[in-house]
Amino acid sequence: MHGILRDYAARFARSRSLAEKARALQPDGVSSDSRVVEPFPVFVDRADGATKWTVEGQPLIDLWAGHGALLFGHRPPAVEAAIGRRLERGTHFAACHPLELEWAERINRMVPSAERVRFTNSGTEAVLLAVHIARLATGRRTLLRFGGHYHGWHASINVGSGEAARGGSTAVDHGVEVLPLAEPDALRARLSSGHDVAAVILEPTGPCSGVVPLPVDTLVRVGQITREAGAALIFDEIVTGFRVAPGGAQAARGVTPDMTTLAKVMCGGLPGGALVGGARWLDLLSKRRPFGDLRIPHLGTYNGSPLSAAAGIATLDALADGEVHWRIDAVAGALKRRLNRLFAEHNLDWAIYGSGSCLKLLIGHGLPVSAEAFDPTLVAPAVLLARGRIETWRALRLALLLEGVDASLSSFVTAACDEATVDAIVHAFASAIRRLGRDDCFGMPSTI
């Protein structure tokens, strides 16, 4: 892909210089693995609506959407005004504050499982806290998770996911056991083999927020089996919470877990997270428990941050009636249809799919090329999780940046996107595909 690399280096010369400086200061020059791009990432200076601008002044339609945290796009006026008002009154009190209660009340009203709320600094922290509570409440040790489902970077949770995702093999470490992709029969067999399981955790729409879609009836069965075994059912709704519906995937699918981990959209673009659930579970955090009863200490300097609370309240108020979800899903649906037609016109076995505003790009599904709606259930889960020909994707990502779109294999549509945005994205993909053709990138190998 010599031509793409040449044009990329020329277009984003200042970003290249900053990336070289960053590598001397940070591992790989980034703060998150997801921001590693070869030969170097672009550096962004500002953003507004559906667009962000690089340090070179290059506008990019933003389909990363703050890693899924931005439902309304960049700088929504109501959220920005709420943050501004809070800045005038202080940013950190090391004390309780009224916005904390207002934030929790809104979450409790919207999320079916939210009888109690405990704020955290991130989604990963919320997951760790949920597992800790489940172990204390049940007196058991083992956490069951499923291959491919992502629950944060911490090794004590993420162990074994790679092996299970590719072949259903089981790994046990740190009291975590990995089962094949949410198979109820395998779960029932495992829970019947002993009484050591404290909790079962999963993403309710499927691994990586729906890369392998999880049928509703499977979710219902997993919930029933887990409860029958006396284990806690934990939904990881860090991505899907407030994005797929005002009450998250659990509200949309009618399955209520014991505990739910939240982050991203609930904070309106600022840092934070939360664990929500029934009083039976979260009250194990209470210091008012009777003397001698076990409890879980939980601290965090920025838990319930006033700034995040202000942004979160404004965001939840704006999405509470669900109207924005209808609008975003309609735009996302139009984008998926038009991109799949474009891929078919170029005889590419690529596909865009996903639930609602969550977009999943698969480059190389191996099925006959068709402009009809793509059905991911016809593709082996291992192929979906591997995401197809990754080397081709790496070339496509650079080509898209050259054409003015910053996309991911897991992208998101925001309320700032409209019909004109869809037109621009489709045009950018068409131009990027032509670039890949000129550079003979379509034969790049698969990682499967």
The answer to whether 264 is a known catalytic residue is yes
Which one from 52, 150, 353, 406 is the annotated catalytic residue?
150
Residue 406 gets the label, from left (phi > 0), alpha (psi -120 to 50) or beta, of: beta
CA pair distance 75, 97, nearest whole angstrom: 25
User: Annotated catalytic residue: which of 8, 52, 258, 264?
Assistant: 264
Q: For 161, what's the count of Cα atoms within 13 Å in the CB-facing half-sphere?
A: 20
- CA–centroid distance for 134 within its chain: 23
Distance in angstroms (rounded) separating the CA atoms of residues 434 and 440: 10
Report d(CA 77, CA 82) in Å as an integer.
9
150 is catalytic: yes
DSSP assignment of 157-198 equals HHTTHHHHHHH----EETTEEEESTT-HHHHHHHHHT-S-EE
Q: Is residue 236 among the annotated active site residues? A: yes
Strands 273-277 vs 259-263: parallel, antiparallel or unpaired? antiparallel
Q: What are phi and psi of 362, to 5 degrees?
A: -120, 120
The DSSP code sequence of 385-425 is HHTB-HHHHHHHHHHHHHTTEE--SEEE--TT--HHHHHHH
Exactly one of 52, 62, 236, 406 is catalytic; which is it? 236
User: What amino acid positions are annotated as catalytic residues?
Assistant: 150, 236, 264
